[in-house]
Every structure is written in structure tokens, then in C-alpha cells.
Amino acid sequence: MAQAEIPASTLSAATDFQRHYSSLEHELTKVIVGQSDVIQQTLCCLLIGGHALIEGVPGIGKTLLARSLGQVLDLKFSRIQFTPDLMPADILGTSILVTDALGVRSMQFQGGPLFGNVILADEINRASPKTQSAMLEAMSEQSISVGRTTHRLADPFFVIATQNPLEMEGTYPLPEAQLDRFAMNIIIRPPPVDELVNIMDRTTGVNKPALLTIMNAARLAEMKLMVRSVTVAEILKRYIARIILCTHPDSDQATDSVKKYVRYGASPRAAQALILAARVQALINGRTYVEPNDILAVALPCLRHRIITHFDARVDGIDTVAIIQDVLKNTDPAPEAAAIKSLMR
């Protein structure tokens, strides 16, 4: 779509989106040194109405990023420290016996920390599988069921979960069904020398940066609506569908690496996350329509936690990143190939 064909009102809304997005990003960079990709991907999850799974070794800033996002948003923030002895009722809530002014006793539901807007699930893979599974309904349906009653959660509802690498002591792998509820798997890498020095300067001096609250629920809802109004050409929707299908080993279009190493491919939720994230990427780049490069820019974080590999992959040193890169490189987008190439010019 040519820029001249876009209505002025849409361009104005896109400009407002960029301005508010830049404000959010700038505020987070006051306390998060470097890690621009991590900040962008976390904000992307927020804006598409998904959830973020942030992975990295301890002490690298996972919790700081999640807590900082809670500070800059004028929303209710809750933090849950996941431990091996944490029980489902500790996060969902439970019914308690209360006595009113007349002495009448009744059972009353007391909501747990999930009844907030921005939920930090810290070190989620240190909890038992039973407690991890208690998050499934909340993340998927934005509600929880306790006994025979279903309770609606707040809107917006955004879970930022942090996890340590599975090789570390005291961790449990997240169930595949729960992994699929996360829009993106965000990896935080150790900082280089210059950034590490900057971190020391900011955190060990007298003055520490203060974060401002710059966005409320109404503004966030407007930005989320703008994301869904971004144009995606039919050829690009079909291209995304082909990418997803190529991650399935039983597909005729699967690559050799997928057929050899993949047990289960990406679900339809992956396609939903991919198209929405590509729309955010387009708006960040000042466009109200998606280009192929927007899709490629978000493919890894949207897909890498949704592909389940065989044991042979670990034996041969093949991870999901390598498989996704192979899929993106070899996926045949025909019969859309010529049209997609024209869009990339």
C-alpha cells in the first residue's frame, strides 16, 4: 500500500503510537542498560495482548525489567515469587470464612496476586508443575476457576514471567501447553564490557534513576487497537501460514531439519502472535502496513519456545533457533514468491 493512499486519520494515529511507544522505551532505558531488543520484544508482547517469557541467568536484569514496566504503567502491579513449595491457591486465591456485623458467617473468595494488571511471575520454572499449570486458564482465558465459580481477571492482564536456564539447579521445565501461552520467548544475554561498566555506574553511585508513570489503561487500549488496524496483505498472511506449517514434521513442506529433529511444530497461536508482532514492528518503523522484514524480525522470539524437538536434536547440538532459521531460509512461499519479492524491493 502506498503511503499516499493511507487516510490522514490513520497516519495521525500511527504517529501518536510512535510517540507514546518511544516514551515507554525511553523511560525503561533509564534503568535497563542496552538490551534494546529485549525492551522492544517485551513492549511488543504488551501491545499485542500477549504474555512474555524472559529467560536468562540470575542477576542479568530480568526482574528489573518487569518491575520497571510495572512502574511506568499506571496499572496495578503484582509480583509472585515462584518457589518449589508454592501452591496453586497461593496465586489464584481461596475462599475464607468471614463473619459480618450481625455475626452471620459465610464463605467469601479472597483473590490472589493474579488479580492485577501487570503480573511478574518471578522464576516461574522454580515452582512445581502443579502450580505452573494453575496459570494456564488465567493466561489463556483471562479468568480463573475456583470451585464451581469462574472469576474474571483485570483488563489489561499482562504476565511477565522470568525463568532461569533449565540446566540450573532447582528448575522444572514449563509444560508445552503453558509455553504456548507466551507470545514471545525473550532471551537476555550477558552485557558486553561497556554496558557492564554503565550498569555499575548507575547502580553503585549516590544518584539512582527514577522512573515516571507515563501511561494509563485507556492510552494502552488505544495503542493495542491501533496495532490491530495495521494492514497485512493477503500474500503475507499466507506466507506466515506456510512458515507455521513448515515447522511440522508431517507437513509436505517441512525442511529436512524439521523432519529429523522436530517432534511437534508451532501451533495456530504462533501464527496469531507472529502477525500481531509484525504489525507492532511496522508501526515502530513508521508504517501502517506490514512488510516481509517485519515478519522475519519477530519470527525467532515468537517461534523458538513453541517447537518441541526430539532427543536427537540435543545429541547433535541442534537447537530450535537453528531449526527456525533453516525454516525461514528454505520455506517456499510459492505461489506468493514473486509478490513478496516485489514488496521487499
Q: What count of other Cβ atoms lies within 10 Å of the Cβ of residue 343?
A: 16
Structural domain includes residue 191: yes
Q: Are residues 269 and 188 in the same domain?
A: no
Q: Is residue 101 part of a domain?
A: no
Predicted confidence at residue 303, as pLDDT, reads 94
pLDDT at 9: 65
pLDDT (tens, 9 = 90+) of the chain, 345 residues, equals 444 455 556 777 888 888 999 999 988 988 888 888 889 999 999 999 999 998 887 777 777 888 888 888 888 888 888 888 888 888 888 777 777 777 777 777 787 888 888 888 888 888 887 888 788 888 888 888 877 788 888 888 999 988 877 555 556 778 788 888 899 999 888 888 888 888 888 877 777 778 888 888 889 999 999 999 999 999 999 999 999 999 999 988 888 888 888 898 899 999 999 999 999 999 998 888 999 899 999 999 999 999 998 888 888 888 889 999 989 988 755 555 555 555 555
Is the separation of the CB atoms in 197 and 33 below 8 Å? no
Across the chain, which distance is largest between two alpha carbons, in Å?
76
Structural domain contains residue 107: no
Position 240 scores a pLDDT of 93
* Amino acid symbol at 32: I
Q: What is the CATH number of the domain that holds 138?
A: 3.40.50.300
Residue found by looking up cell 514488496 in the block:
343
Residue 91, in any domain of the structure: no
The answer to the question of residue 110 being in a domain is: no
Determine the pLDDT at residue 224.
92
Assess whether 203 and 241 both reside in one domain.
no
Q: Which residues pair with 160 in a beta bridge?
A: 52, 120
pLDDT at position 333 is 55
One-letter amino acid for residue 181 of the chain: R
Residues 272 and 133 in one domain: no
Boundary residue ending a domain (204, 227, 250):
227
In a domain, 180, yes or no: yes
Q: With 0-12 CB in 10 A as exposed, 13-18 as middle and 19+ as buried, what is 104?
A: exposed
C-alpha cell at 103: 455475626
Q: What is the pLDDT of residue 4?
A: 43
Do 247 and 265 belong together in one domain?
A: yes
Does 108 reside within a domain? no
Residue 243 CA to residue 197 CA, distance in Å, equals 41
Reply yes or no: is the peptide bond before residue 156 cis, omega within 30 of 0: yes
Please write down the HEC assignment for all residues of the chain: CCHHHCCHHHHHHHHHHHHHHHHHHHHHCCCCCCCHHHHHHHHHHHHCCCCEEEECCCCCCHHHHHHHHHHHECCCEEEEECCCCCCHHHHHEEEEEEECCCCCEEEEEEECCCCCCEEEEECHHHCCHHHHHCCHHHHHHCEEEECCEEEECCCCCEEEEEECCCCCCCCCCCCHHHHCCCCEEEECCCCCHHHHHHHHHHHCCCCCCCCCCCECHHHHHHHHHHHHCCECCHHHHHHHHHHHHCCCCCCCCCCHHHHHHEEECCCHHHHHHHHHHHHHHHHHCCCCECCHHHHHHHHHHHHCCCCEECHHHHHCCCCHHHHHHHHHHHCCCCCCHHHHHHHHC
What is the domain count for the chain?
A: 2
Identify the domain containing residue 309 by its residue range.
Answer: 230-345
- Burial class from Cβ neighbours inside 10 Å (0-12, 13-18, 19+) for residue 193 reads exposed
Q: pLDDT value at position 341?
A: 54
Statement to judge: residues 145 and 186 lie in one domain: yes
Q: Is residue 95 part of a domain?
A: no
